Chains A and B, each alone.
Chain A
Amino acid sequence: MSLSRKQRRMWLVVLAGLGLGTATALTLTAFQDNLVFFLAPSDIATKNPGPDRAFRLGGLVEAGSLQRRQTSDGRPEALFRVTDGPVTVPVSYVGVLPDLFREGQGVVTLGKLGADGQFRASEVLARHDETYMPPEVADALKRSGHWDPSKGAAPPAASWNTLTPGQPAAPERSGG
């Protein structure tokens, strides 16, 4: 067994790397629950955070559920439902909603769940859905009936990411 100094250093680095990688993987697995930024509506039943504990609730804003009104002192209030499919939670929030907030969009809300099942949010964050498209392309998809943003995610990107919508005065409009 004769390893040169370089080879010995190399093996030392490889072994240390393996040990470190394993330790990190184990740590991340162990802490997975603590690294969760928000609970989905379905998680609330299993991980019941209790009525007085503030926690983050995340999910999609249900289509057709958004109502905007004003509180008695003139501040904007929003009522909507957050869903992850099987479970839906009604949410109320007083304050200005972020730009990306809309029906069908992912949101993360911080607040407390009342005994009446109403989630009172003190903060509403909108998630981005990782699609980037010009307004004309989004309009074209909506007009053609391929996509209703309030009902769900955009169609597969390959179907639109090279799409060039017609001139602003599209035939069906100028004709009608």
Chain B
Amino acid sequence: MSSTPPAPRPAPRSASLSAASPRAGGGLHRFANPGRFLRMTERVLPWLWAAAGLVLAVGAAWALVFSPPDWQQGETVRIMYVHVPMAWLAMGGYLGLAIASLMSLIWRHPLADLAARELSPVGAMVTALCLATGSLWGRPMWGTWWAWDARMTSVLVLFFLWVGHAALVRAFDEEERGARAAAILALIGAVNLPVIKWSVDWFNTLHQSASVTRVAAPGLHVDILYPLLTCALGFSLAFAALVLARVRAAVMEKRLRQLQLAQARQNDTRRNEVAG
């Protein structure tokens, strides 16, 4: 058993990173240098935003104008082009959060902590959009804004998990303890993902079963499927750009805090020298 002394870890984790073994964490440690991360993503981000804007413009025009109405839903089917991508992003994003939390707990990757912290407000937003658009669709179609069936309830739980993660990660004075507690919450909450996905098959629900990802051919006509996939790609790109922009801002803020701390310390020593 390696007996590492329980010495307090130096506060800024980035300082200890260059010493961390590069093979663990899948070579991702080269992104741990904040300066390099900022330089690399600075070039990527504008392209990501441009791609998201372009695909979303095409997707929105296709979904709102050029795609046909549905034979029984009429024009209301156009809500689905927002609702379904938001549902996919809410779940896919949570899978990303769970992976980041795993990397944070096992490999202590600092960027994983930062990504998880900046991911959860965006995840909460898309889950809220999923619930709101579902409600707006359900009122005219089902005849109700909301029903406590297994699918809707489990998505509401997902929303609370996102909000809980965002709150917990910011609840501690010591950043690292907040990150650890939130990572554990995120991993526990991951059991909700299969429950959401298969709730419509395991239980009888008001919500319909999956149309796109079923074993037989998708239950959507291509005139509806293709604009849906375009919108899903566009929203995914926008989601990625948003998270990346937030992580960049967080890296800048973290570096600013470290510089302020270093400057304050320098001033202190100088003052002490003058006094002594």
Contact = CB atoms under 8 A, between A and B. Distances in A.
Direct A–B contact in the complex, CB atoms closer than 8 angstroms: yes
Interface of A: 2, 4-6, 9-10, 13, 16-17, 20-21, 24, 28, 32, 35-38, 40, 58, 97-102, 108, 123-139, 154, 156-158, 160-163
A9 B69 contact: no
B34 interface: no
B222 A162 contact: yes
Nearest to B107: A6
B220 A136 contact: no
Contacts of A128: 73, 141-142, 208
A10 B107 CA distance: 9
Name the residue in A2, A6, A133, A157 with the highest tally of chain B Cβ atoms < 10 Å from its Cβ: A133
A4 B106 CA distance: 11
Given A123-B144, A124-B143, A130-B208, 12 more contacts: A5-B4, A28-B202, A98-B142, A99-B73, A101-B143, A126-B143, A132-B77, A133-B220, A134-B70, A154-B219, A156-B216, A162-B221
A131 B188 CA distance: 34
A170 to B, nearest CB: 17
Task: Identify the interface centre among B72, B147, B149: most chain A CB within 10 Å of its CB.
Answer: B72
Interface residues of B, number: 50
Interface string B65-78: 00011111110110
A158 B221 CA distance: 9
A156 B70 CA distance: 17
Contact of A131 (B4, B211, B222): B211
Contacts of B210: 130
A6 B225 CA distance: 44
Contacts of B102: 13
Name which of B211, B219, B224 has the most chain A CB atoms within 10 A of its CB: B219
A98 B142 CA distance: 6
A13 B108 CA distance: 13
B225 A127 contact: no
A135 B221 contact: no
A83 to B, nearest CB: 15
19 contacts: A2-B1, A6-B107, A35-B203, A36-B204, A37-B149, A37-B150, A37-B206, A99-B73, A99-B74, A108-B147, A124-B143, A125-B147, A127-B208, A132-B70, A134-B70, A137-B221, A156-B217, A157-B220, A162-B221
A138 B24 CA distance: 56
Interface string B47-73: 000000000000000000000111111
A132 B211 contact: yes
Nearest to B224: A132
A21 B219 contact: no
A161 B68 contact: no
Nearest to A95: B143
